């Protein structure tokens, strides 16, 4: 079975991706900050489909986030076949007027 890692899976488009990829029989690794929402989603998905779902509560703006996720995957010997790099938020206005730290969080 293939595995998809979805960032920003606790709500919105990312959560919809989780349901659709589960329907297509993919194991999932789901990432977002809200642990409770992630864990509830993982339980709901595994109740509905014969797949495994791992939840990683993680703020992706943390400098160490990539390493934390890589360590989590390595420890469980999970290979990721598909990345849905969806986590994010909207920020609007002229580039030169936007808050720098907000822009760095986006990146």
Ligand X SMILES: NC(=O)c1ccc[n+]([C@@H]2O[C@H](COP(=O)([O-])OP(=O)(O)OC[C@H]3O[C@@H](n4cnc5c(N)ncnc54)[C@H](OP(=O)(O)O)[C@@H]3O)[C@@H](O)[C@H]2O)c1
Binding site for ligand X (CB under 6 A): 8-14, 32-34, 37, 59-61, 86-90
Helices (H), the chain: 12-23, 35-48, 65-75, 100-106
Considering beta carbons, is residue 37 or 78 the nearer one to ligand X? 37
Q: How far is the CB of 72 from ligand X (least distance, A)?
A: 14
Considering beta carbons, is residue 57 or 78 the nearer one to ligand X? 57
Q: How far is the CB of 42 from ligand X (least distance, A)?
A: 13
- What is the rounded distance in angstroms from the CA atom of residue 68 to the CA atom of residue 20? 26
Q: Which residue is nearest to ligand X (CB)?
A: 12
Q: How far is the CB of 88 from ligand X (least distance, A)?
A: 2
Contact 103, 90 (CB under 8 A): no
Residue 51 neighbours by CB distance under 10 Å: 19
Considering beta carbons, is residue 78 or 88 the nearer one to ligand X? 88
* DSSP at 10: T
């Amino acid at each position: 079975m293939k595995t998809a890692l979805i960032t920003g899976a606790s709500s919105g488009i990312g959560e919809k991706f989780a349901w659709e990829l589960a329907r297509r029989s993919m194991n999932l690794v789901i990432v977002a900050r809200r642990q409770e929402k992630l864990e509830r989603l993982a339980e709901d998905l595994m109740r509905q489909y014969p797949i495994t779902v791992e939840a990683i509560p993680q703020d992706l703006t943390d400098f160490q986030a990539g390493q934390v996720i890589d360590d989590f995957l390595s420890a469980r010997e999970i290979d990721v076949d598909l990345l849905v790099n969806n986590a994010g938020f909207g920020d609007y206005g002229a580039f030169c007027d936007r808050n720098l730290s907000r822009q760095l969080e986006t990146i």
